[in-house]
Amino acid sequence: MRNERGSTLILVLLISTVFLVLGLAIFSAVIGGTKRTESRRTEAAAAQSSVEDMNAVTADFQAGIDSIAKSGSLQDMLKTSSYEGKLQALLQDLQSRYTSSGQTTGKTLQIHDKTGTLLEDDSDYKSRYFTRYYEFVLVYVSNPDAAHPTITKTVRRNMYISPTPSFLQYTVGSEHTLQLNGASSITGNVYGDDISVANAARYVDTAALNGADSAPYKTVNTLYPQVRGDIIVNSQLSVYKDSISKQGIAVNTFTKHQLAFQSPSAFLASFYTPDKQEEELPNIYKAYNRFVPVELAATFADKLNELELDGRHLQLTKADISSRSTVVNSMFSLLGGPVTEAGVAGFNAAGHSLYLIEKDQNPADVQLDFSAPQYAGKNVVLLTDVAGNATARPTFILNRDLKLASHQWLVVDGNLEIYNDHLPLAVSGNILVMGDILIHGDAFDFGHEQDKMQFDSTIYTTGKASIFSTDITGLDGKQLVLLSQGDLLLTRINEFDAADNSITPMDAYLYTDGRAELYGVASLLSIHGGLFAKQELVMNAIRQNAVQKPAASFSANTPYVPLTLASREVQQTQSSRLQVTYDRSVVLDQLDALPRVNTLQVIIDDSVVENGDTTKKDDAP
């Protein structure tokens, strides 16, 4: 009996011990979970506080730059070096105000000037340029005492200052009307006074031409655009919806939003979001900064006036730009008078800072590497028709590599056609075209584009700009910036290609004072840079990985075969055939040649939050 009682006692003690251990384990887990929860809360709070502080730094920096821009003439400030002095005073004030140590938090702000690392000639950028590139680094330490765990966050943000017009801040936009018809994909910010989005796109059906003077437009059902960025609207955002009712009847609706504040969920059905989540929607809001426009005619005149011609400068106005003869005659008047066709060789041998190429010489018998030592004293290369009709615009064809020195400009007295046929072509240098520009390859090489062009160039044209049937990539990591006073046409790029990784993005920023319309239906277009129109920009696109190529030729006797386009349901998982991704490096890569305005823009990158004090890695050898 006593043995049984002893066994029972031992069993009770054992069970009690087990429950005690389990209780202690649970209690420990609860305490540990509470501590971990508190730690996560503290870390999240630290991350949020560090980002808020960086946003405050950004706002104060923008306000300081605005104050500098309004304090006097920017050109006078640059000449007297007061511009750099005012910048340094602002940066020192920010570092002082945002570096502190308190009982609950501590923070240190460092600002690094990285402008020189991105400029080819960085020896005197502080006295030559308004543009700056700063890295802001804020080290934030929460609870710096023994009683609480110390959490350190490092927030980095790049900011750029540039006296450039506002359009260069946007991936896609228009000062007036922006139509996003169908399923384009935009990475970056979008701007427009009046923006409309639609789940239908139109395209030019060349297959249905059949002897007609012009191909008919077709409309295709597709998805809404995808925007990974902000949409800034001045007036209104309109949504067009093309749908089929339960009775099988086509129903079209058009809804206008006057941009009184609305919940993002109101637009969930009006933008393509892969996972149908509200957080994938773009931020949509009214512009709070004044849009600073560019006046291309005045900029064209400014670029000509900056050219040094035998130690002298032109004094043209924007009204003069419409007359080619006025521009060319003004050049020759500074250089001793007009030149005849027979006198071209003598003129070039006389040591002028302008090198003259007569139309009949171009391009077969002309050396196009003007960076060579024998052209060191040449600031301007002029293509002109000395003996031609002064009112007719000649066309100059460039089908070989062109290389200009960094201080040189090519001035074209007429139209310019840049053409290559299955051979690579490279253009390095800045160009002023007093006419239209046409950049193209072979229009009949269906499949992957075989006509490759590389550009490190800013091109201004007083006429229209057209690009078709060619691949354009950056030369030495740079890009093409094309600014046209006339309309812009971009078509037949990678026609009927499949949307895969072999497609080369077009490294270009394209701007027009007029109208531009793009098609990503049969064409497959990817732009790494940006696209902006002053009057109207229309983008048409579908989501379809592959579009079947129709018959090789069409005639009145050839049966019409329409493009095979996928349904909306199939397009949900397909890739967009018109993609634009912003590249802000254009502001620095083409710094000397970009349009300038008499104010300063601040371009801001997203913040990057890192755990710990990562500035120590920056200082490591």
pLDDT per position as a tens digit, 302-340: 999 999 999 999 999 999 998 988 999 999 999 988 888
Q: What's the whole-number mean pLDDT along residues 508-532?
A: 93
* Nearest of 447, 445, 453 to residue 472 by alpha carbon: 453
pLDDT per position as a tens digit, 223-265: 999 999 999 998 888 888 875 544 444 556 556 655 544 566 6
In whole angstroms, what is the distance from residue 287 CA to residue 389 CA? 48
Is residue 576 assigned to a domain?
A: no
Q: What is the pLDDT at residue 16?
A: 78
Is residue 289 assigned to a domain?
A: no
Residues facing residue 602 across a β-bridge: 161
Please give the share of the chain, as a percent, with pLDDT higher than 90. Answer: 43
Provide the angle, in degrees to the nearest 10, between the axes of the packed helices 2-70 and 82-97.
Answer: 160
Are the CB atoms for 416 and 398 separated by under 8 Å? Answer: yes
Pairing state of beta strands 578-582 and 190-198? unpaired
Looking at the 3D structure of the chain, how many domains does it have?
1
Does residue 72 surpass a pLDDT of 60? yes
Q: What is the pLDDT at residue 620?
A: 47
Is residue 609 assigned to a domain?
A: yes
Domain containing 58 equals 37-163+604-619
Is residue 359 assigned to a domain?
A: no
Are the CB atoms for 226 and 184 separated by under 8 Å? Answer: yes
Is residue 593 assigned to a domain?
A: no
In whole angstroms, what is the distance from residue 590 CA to residue 458 CA? 7
Are the CB atoms for 479 and 583 separated by under 8 Å? Answer: yes
Does residue 469 surpass a pLDDT of 60? yes
Q: Residue 471 burial by CB count (10 A; 0-12/13-18/19+): exposed, middle or buried? A: buried
Q: What is the pLDDT at residue 392?
A: 78
Res. 621 pLDDT band, cuts 50 70 90: very low
Name, of 28-37, 213-222, 495-504, 521-530, the range with top average pLDDT: 521-530
- Record the pTM: 0.83
Phi, psi for residue 9 in degrees, rounded to 5:
-65, -45
Residues in CB range of 212: below 8 A, 6 or more apart: none
In whole angstroms, what is the distance from residue 155 CA to residue 609 CA? 5
Is residue 267 assigned to a domain?
A: no
Q: How many CB atoms lie within 10 A of CB 373?
A: 6
Does residue 555 surpass a pLDDT of 50? no
Is residue 125 assigned to a domain?
A: yes
Are the CB atoms for 437 and 482 separated by under 8 Å? Answer: yes
Distances (CA, A) of 443 to 164, 492, 516: 36, 8, 20
Res. 457 pLDDT band, cuts 50 70 90: very high
Q: What is the pLDDT at residue 344?
A: 86
Question: Could you tell me how many residues make up the chain?
Answer: 621
* Nearest of 183, 283, 280, 265 to residue 225 by alpha carbon: 183
Phi, psi for residue 502 in degrees, rounded to 5:
-80, -10
Residue type, 357: I
Does residue 616 surpass a pLDDT of 80? no
Does residue 22 surpass a pLDDT of 70? yes
Is residue 247 assigned to a domain?
A: no
More confident residue, 15 or 391: 15
Q: What is 390-410 written as a DSSP string?
A: SSS--EEEE-S-EE--TT-EE
Res. 123 pLDDT band, cuts 50 70 90: low
More confident residue, 6 or 82: 82
Res. 6 pLDDT band, cuts 50 70 90: low
In degrees to the nearest 10, what's the CA dihedral of 172, 174, 179, 185? 0
pLDDT per position as a tens digit, 161-201: 988 899 999 999 999 999 999 999 999 999 999 999 999 99
> Which regions of 208-350 does DSSP assign to beta strands (E)?
217-221, 226-228, 230-244, 250-257, 283-286
Res. 58 pLDDT band, cuts 50 70 90: very high
Res. 113 pLDDT band, cuts 50 70 90: very high
Q: Residue 227 burial by CB count (10 A; 0-12/13-18/19+): exposed, middle or buried? A: buried
